[in-house]
Amino acid sequence: MSKIVGIIGGVGPYAGLDFHKKILDCTPAKSDQEHLEIYHISASAKIEDRSKFLQGKSLANPAEGLIYAAEKLVAIGAEILVIPCNTAHSDPILSPFLEFIAKKNALFLNLLEETCRYIRSKGLQKVGLLATLGTYQSGVYQFYFRQIGCGELICPTESQKQIVSDAIYNPEKGIKSGAQTGWASSQLDLVVQSLQNQGAQAVIMGCTEIPLALGNSDFLLDPGQILAKRVVQAAL
């Protein structure tokens, strides 16, 4: 029997769907009945913006909303849990969540751990990072790079970080507004180019919204894609 997958979605809602689709794409199924059982909760209104919290612009810990969703998923039988949001894996948010999960009979697969293991397995020595301001500020990728034993992580300049953030959050043209191509892609491309010029052998799209605008390739690493493969492997 395959294990039941629980997606703590809504972070953001489109990124959750994109991740869910990646699980379907990775599943060796030719009919509906061969697919995994997947429960997906998108309770975005109950989850504070992760970046805002990490930057001290809000006191509400997004962990509360993540636990709200996880509680429901576990209650109806989810056995493998995932959070398709990079920023949510920074310590101030993930720690209370892990404390909650430790008491439950469910396996949590960590998006950043899986991504860093993948990077190490590919022998990449110098890797760039596109992320939210909260993710940069929290140093969470640096933490997992050290813990897993990856090479060097290159971050953009402060003004480039702002460009990435605006491509994600701009209320009119940003990816979270539903406008997933055009302007946001071209803004992100500028920063990718700069990281490549600095010698990055690959760039992590370290916010699950970014692949919605950039797609993925051997150069543009998609943590959601890496995690989706791992989820299917663990569930089957």
Contact between residue 174 and residue 184 where contact means Cβ atoms under 8 Å apart = yes
| Rg of the Cα atoms in the chain | 17
Distance in Å, CB of 94 to a second copy, minimum: 18
Distance in Å, CB of 1 to a second copy, minimum: 10
Residue nearer to a second copy on the CB measure, 60 or 190: 60
Distance in Å, CB of 7 to a second copy, minimum: 8
Other beta carbons within 10 Å of 230: 21
Residue nearer to a second copy on the CB measure, 27 or 115: 27
Would you call 158 helix, strand, or coil by DSSP? Answer: helix
Question: Among 195, 174, 230, 204, which Cα is nearest to 49's?
Answer: 174
Question: Among 229, 232, 222, which Cα is nearest to 86's?
Answer: 222
**Catalytic residue selected from 85, 116, 150, 155:** 85
Residue nearer to a second copy on the CB measure, 32 or 158: 32
| 85 is known as an active-site residue | yes
User: What residues make contact with a second copy under the rule CB under 8 A?
Assistant: 2, 10-14, 17, 20-21, 24-25, 29-49, 72, 75-77, 169, 171-172, 176-178
| 207 is known as an active-site residue | yes
Residue nearer to a second copy on the CB measure, 55 or 194: 55
Letter string b/e over residues 185-207, b meaning 16 or more CB atoms within 10 A of that residue's CB: bebbeebbebbeeeebbbbbbbb
Distance in Å, CB of 93 to a second copy, minimum: 14
Question: Among 173, 62, 72, 86, which Cα is nearest to 135's?
Answer: 86
Residue nearer to a second copy on the CB measure, 51 or 187: 51
Distance in Å, CB of 149 to a second copy, minimum: 33
- Written as one string, the DSSP assignment of 125-154 is -EEEEE--HHHHHHTHHHHHHHHHT--EEE
How many helices (H) and strands (E) would you count in the chain?
Answer: 11, 8
**Catalytic residue selected from 116, 150, 155, 207:** 207
CA-CA distance, 227 to 108, in Å (whole number)?
Answer: 11
Residues known to be catalytic: 85, 207
